[in-house]
Amino acid sequence: MDVETEIHCDLAVIGAGMAGMAASLFAANRGIDTVQIGIASQIIFSSGLLDLLAVHPVEEGRTWDNPWEALDRLSGDLPDHPYSRIKKSHIRKALSETVVFLADSGLAYQVNEERNSHVITSLGTRKQTYYVPRTMWNGVQALHEKKPGLIIDIRGLRGFSARQITETLKPVWPGVRHERIEFPDMRSVQEMYTEPMARSLAVPENRKKLADIIRPLIKDARIVGVPAILGMQDSQDVQQDLEDMIGVPLFEIPTMPPSIPGLRIRETFEMKLPEKGVRLKYRNRVSRISKNNDEFLLEVGNDAPVSRIHARGVILATGRFLGKGLYADRKTIREPLLDLPVYQPGVRPEWHRFDFMDPRGHLINQAGLEIDNRFRPLDGSGKPADDNLFAAGSILAHQDWMRMKCGSGLAIATAYAAVNAFLKTTSKNG
């Protein structure tokens, strides 16, 4: 085996999604020498919203204005859900630590502490969420106040129709209308993409051109909604500059993936985690994990191992099927790295219900790793597979993050729990 580097660390975090990013952040903030490994992050497919909990029970479709009351109900109903293993005070601390980091890095978030907020989606529906990017917050307030509004879309941008959004919103926001514009200097482009538009607005002259197009369309509108394209790491400056030029508040509406707000989060973590001492091995896959005495040995590389990482502890934040944390064939679901047991429906026909839109969801969405109260995956006998092996995020069993509207909150809170469990274990043994 031709290995280029040998790396020694306290903790190896496997996964580049929200759970892996959050785990690396929490570890760095606690002085833990950390290496993070992961292939392409799925964060870019997220809306940038940080959900906590909005739906429970799933089969009833009950929505909650107060996510903390929902957590109380969930803990009583589902004792094996990962949230049920974490104190609410720790969930609050985990979310707060994350949004402070993002705000310090230029991505500010807003929240109503004791209730979910309603955010307009690209379909014109309203999504309940907890922490909202500041670039979207004016829309939350406008929807509540019903002030006259204008929704703008861009010719050539697929999956975003201002007409559809306004027609869907009319029953709850009657004073909203729509317009379509040509994005500056891109008239000849037949199909538009959000990332080039967002990056172009880093140039002040491009912002002025866009403002000059929007200003005559405002008329009686007191607020303007646009696709989520207001810059990248400079989004707050772009928003403020455009607002000053058009004379009314702006707000972003999440678009179909890939998402600019999700890309902002990914780029922020990728830029700022190394400043905290995290060593990143992105776009690399862990091909094998073994244990030698008191340390794990991770072989890292896509086609062949190019690095070996020696770590006292490991956090699996590899996601489910899309992130390749779980693998399904025609008979079973496996965890491919360590061959850990996976909680799953007994036989393949039970994985999915007959009706694709069944409100109860599909049983396969509950599949994942079972853990103890210290977030250690269990082996076949129901005992921790290793004292220093932990898991976080969507790979965990007994949760349906998509239907429960708790994806980011679950990722962040379980990462917090896993890092603190590792810290307690090493302090006890150290």
Residue after which a domain boundary falls, among 219, 253, 287: 253
Domain count, the chain: 2
pLDDT at 352: 78
CA distance 364 to 348: 9
> Residue 195's domain spans which residues?
122-253
CA distance 221 to 217: 9
Q: Looking at the structure, do residues 185 and 234 belong to the same domain, yes or no? A: yes
pTM of the model: 0.94
Q: Looking at the structure, do residues 206 and 271 belong to the same domain, yes or no? A: no
CA distance 284 to 368: 23
DSSP H or E run through 69: helix 67-77
Q: Looking at the structure, do residues 245 and 269 belong to the same domain, yes or no? A: no
Note whether residue 111 is domain-resident. Answer: no
Q: Looking at the structure, do residues 211 and 352 belong to the same domain, yes or no? A: no
Note whether residue 109 is domain-resident. Answer: no
CA distance 386 to 50: 31
Note whether residue 409 is domain-resident. Answer: yes
Q: Looking at the structure, do residues 235 and 298 belong to the same domain, yes or no? A: no
Q: Looking at the structure, do residues 297 and 419 belong to the same domain, yes or no? A: yes
Q: Looking at the structure, do residues 423 and 279 belong to the same domain, yes or no? A: yes
Note whether residue 294 is domain-resident. Answer: yes
| Pair of tokens at residue 87 | 């104190």
Note whether residue 143 is domain-resident. Answer: yes
β-strand partners of 291: 296
What's the one-letter identity of residue 142? A
| CATH classification at residue 79 | 3.50.50.60
Q: Looking at the structure, do residues 207 and 270 belong to the same domain, yes or no? A: no
Tens place of pLDDT per residue across the chain (430 aa): 455 689 999 999 999 999 999 999 999 999 999 999 998 667 777 889 999 999 999 988 999 999 999 999 999 999 999 999 999 999 999 999 999 999 999 999 999 999 999 999 999 999 999 999 999 999 999 999 999 999 999 999 999 999 999 999 999 999 999 999 999 977 667 788 999 999 999 999 999 999 999 999 999 999 999 999 999 989 999 999 999 999 999 999 999 888 899 999 999 999 999 999 999 998 888 989 999 888 999 999 877 667 899 999 999 999 998 888 999 888 889 999 999 999 998 777 777 777 777 777 777 888 999 999 999 999 999 999 999 999 999 999 999 998 999 999 999 999 999 999 999 988 766 5
Note whether residue 110 is domain-resident. Answer: no
Q: Looking at the structure, do residues 336 and 416 belong to the same domain, yes or no? A: yes
